[in-house]
Structure 1
Amino acid sequence: MTSGGAWLVVAVPCALVGAASFGMAGAVQQRATKQVPDTRTLNPRLLLELVRKPIWVASVLTVIIGLSLQVVALAFGPLMLVQPLLVTSVLFGALYAAWMSGRRLDRIVMAGALTCMAGLSAFLLLARPSGAGDGVIERRTLPLAIALGVVFLLCMLAASSFPGEIRVIALALGTGVLYGITAALMKVVTGQIRMGGIGEPFQHWVLYVVCVIGPFGFLLNQNAFQQGKLVSLVLAVITTVDPLVGVAIGIFWFGEHTVSTPAVLTGEALAGVAIIGGIAMLAHRGEYLRQEAERTTPGNPPGEIHGDDPARS
């Protein structure tokens, strides 16, 4: 089978089914985090509380399925092809959340999710990645690693300084950075397996970094779900930042290339505006629903406020 055939037959379906798994897991986890006490950011006690809930444990298994499919997709397709497909988890998450709450999907939530999906897909499709893309780190990693570290620290600072949806966006942004790095390093691990067998990754530092960054990203993801009103907002930010980090790593670490003509750059700028607009729509709707819930049920604990439930007028 040609490389292009493998992308179509293996990588694309695996990425889409993986996105559906992530969306379902996100909707379940967001609801479960509302039913346990609030914890500080990156406090492992949150996981100790959540692990007592069977539905949350089942959602973790769904995440594992999604990650497994992502690994397969990355093994057969380039990073900048697989990651854009995973953005469909935003729509899947919104649909699952509405279904679980027994309500129709909020039109503003749907519009925001679709806007984010369209903007990010257009941005990455316009880039038209080419080059190595085989998961071999070809260049120095330190400058980009420092930049990503600074972004992550700023996210944590913002999350501790601002309330409401700004805090949620900061937590989700930090999660997206960690997930993007993890996905890129997973690409390296899959390349090592294909070249040297199942034992090859254990001889390199990449696997051990994944084992540290991945769990931190997962815990931060649960913090974002717990603090957010809309699962769609959290998923939109994560699935936007994750592939954009992947693009940066693909270019600076893997030696991949993107099209950079004036027309393409203009299209990417417009796609970026669409992404920001979609996230802004979700953030505004999330804050509105949060305030509406507080007005209608001022004494309710966090566990009684469910995500992606449209407010009644």
Structure 2
Amino acid sequence: MAVQTGASLLLAVPAAVVGAACMGLASAAQARATKEVAVSRILDPGLLRGLAHRPLWLIGMIATGAGLALQLVALAFAPLLIVQPLLITSLMFAGVFSSRLERRSRDAVMAAGSLICVAGLASFLLMARPSGGEEAQAAAGTEPFALAVALTVLTLIGLLVSVLARGSARVLGLAVATGVLYGVTAGLMKIVAVQARADLTEPFRHWTLYLVCLVGPLGFLLSQNTFQQGRFLTPALAVITALDPLVGVAMGVWWMGETADTSPAALVGEAVAGAMIIIGIVLLSGRATRLARQTGDPVLSEGGR
């Protein structure tokens, strides 16, 4: 397999970091805007119609477009296993932008939970010591039926929980479904990016681009439901940010010919990093629930909506 060149990484790394900043701004702006419209049913397109009249949401959409474009650039020149650890820093950027938009100081526990999540995710992915040739990624191998079934089931479970549960459990279900769809979109975008790098018309001749056009908007609509249902942005975004790269990397390894280090030492390190992710998410969720109780928020403290 080909080794990534320095020139490719010199372009991919800055694109991924700036793209993460854009996505962090988009999440913060959209989360703030969703609180200004009436609560809608899950996957109701009417939510987007209401948000379209909010300037802050439109700013978020511009930031989303810029972030996706930069993500495509990064994915065209580097494997998912390199790009995704950089993209997860959007969680940190989102926390900063969210506190500024809400004119409040950052909560120390929330900041610590975010840092733990980002550190755990980055460690997990970087310990895999990514490698993968662009030709293998473009070819995309055979369709992994088992992986597709597993991701579909996980998405459906998340949606079922979001319908049947209340409060923070509902937000968690929405975040899980959103994270899986975002990860699938990232994996498919990798194929589209490599195809477009070879020939700009090539993506239009394959089903991948059209599946992105279906899965991507569904994930985006679910993310707006998630932001609206949750009082605090960071816990839900932590779940989304964790699942997004992990699903993308699973597709990279089991579908696109990318490889990961599976030595005993690497697996132990990845297990420790995985534990860090769980600790970070638990810390964020617990802190969000306590803050909601202190402020009397019925959504998280009593399971309203």
Residues 226-251 of structure 1, C-alpha deviations (whole Å, 9 max, x = no match): 01122111221111101100111011
Rounded to whole Å, the distance in 2 between the matches of 1:234 and 1:4 is 36
Q: Which moved more, 1:258-267 or 1:63-72?
A: 258-267
- TM-aligned CA deviation for residue 295 of structure 1: 6.3
Rounded to whole Å, the distance in 1 between the matches of 2:287 and 2:197 is 45
Rounded to whole Å, the distance in 1 between the matches of 2:207 and 2:177 is 23
Would you say 1:256 and 2:258 are equivalent positions? yes
Among 278, 281, 290, the residue aligned to 2:280 = 278
Matched-pair contact (CA < 8 Å) for 1:175–1:218: yes
Other-structure match for 1:198: 200
Within-5 A mapping of 1:101-120: 101-120=102-121
| Higher RCO (CA 8 Å, separation ≥ 6 residues) | 1
- TM-aligned CA deviation for residue 190 of structure 1: 1.3
Give every structure 1 segment of 4 or more consecutive aligned residues whose post-TM-superposition deviation is greater than 4 Å.
none
Q: Which moved more, 1:116-125 or 1:160-169?
A: 160-169
Rounded to whole Å, the distance in 1 between the matches of 2:121 and 2:8 is 19
Other-structure match for 1:150: 153
Residues 51-105 of structure 1, C-alpha deviations (whole Å, 9 max, x = no match): 1111111210110000000000001111111111111111111111111222211
Other-structure match for 2:21: 20
Matched-pair contact (CA < 8 Å) for 2:75–2:194: no
Amino acid at match of 1:238: I
Would you say 1:207 and 2:209 are equivalent positions? yes
Q: Which runs of 5+ in 1 are unaligned?
A: 297-301, 303-313
Matched-pair contact (CA < 8 Å) for 1:18–1:70: yes
Rounded to whole Å, the distance in 2 between the matches of 1:98 and 1:119 is 23
Amino acid at match of 2:270: E
Within-5 A mapping of 1:151-170: 151-170=154-173
Residues 170-201 of structure 1, C-alpha deviations (whole Å, 9 max, x = no match): 11111111111111111111111122x21111
Q: TM-score, normalised by structure 1?
A: 0.91
- TM-aligned CA deviation for residue 169 of structure 1: 1.7
Q: CA 1:295–1:247 in structure 2 vs 1: closer, same or farther (change >3 Å)?
A: closer
Matched-pair contact (CA < 8 Å) for 1:88–1:117: yes
Other-structure match for 2:226: 224
Within-5 A mapping of 1:234-313: 234-294=236-296
Rounded to whole Å, the distance in 2 between the matches of 1:5 and 1:254 is 22
Matched-pair contact (CA < 8 Å) for 2:9–2:77: no
Q: Tell me, what secondary structure is at the counterpart of 2:5? A: helix
Rounded to whole Å, the distance in 2 between the matches of 1:242 and 1:117 is 13
Residues 87-138 of structure 1, C-alpha deviations (whole Å, 9 max, x = no match): 1111111111111222211001100000000000000011112233533311
Q: TM-score, normalised by structure 2?
A: 0.93
Residues 9-44 of structure 1, C-alpha deviations (whole Å, 9 max, x = no match): 111111010111111111111111111111111111
Rounded to whole Å, the distance in 2 between the matches of 1:88 and 1:184 is 18
Other-structure match for 2:177: 174
Rounded to whole Å, the distance in 2 between the matches of 1:266 and 1:9 is 31
- TM-aligned CA deviation for residue 5 of structure 1: 1.2
Other-structure match for 2:301: none
Other-structure match for 1:311: none
Matched-pair contact (CA < 8 Å) for 2:187–2:251: yes
- TM-aligned CA deviation for residue 7 of structure 1: 4.1
Rounded to whole Å, the distance in 2 between the matches of 1:125 and 1:47 is 37
Matched-pair contact (CA < 8 Å) for 2:187–2:249: no
Matched-pair contact (CA < 8 Å) for 2:162–2:171: yes
Residues 185-232 of structure 1, C-alpha deviations (whole Å, 9 max, x = no match): 11111111122x211111111111000000000000001100112211
Amino acid at match of 1:88: T
Amino acid at match of 1:39: S
Amino acid at match of 1:62: A
Q: Which moved more, 1:115-124 or 1:132-141?
A: 132-141
Rounded to whole Å, the distance in 1 between the matches of 2:209 and 2:216 is 10
Matched-pair contact (CA < 8 Å) for 2:128–2:266: yes
Within-5 A mapping of 1:70-81: 70-81=71-82
Within-5 A mapping of 1:46-85: 46-85=47-86
Amino acid at match of 2:27: G
Rounded to whole Å, the distance in 1 between the matches of 2:100 and 2:119 is 23
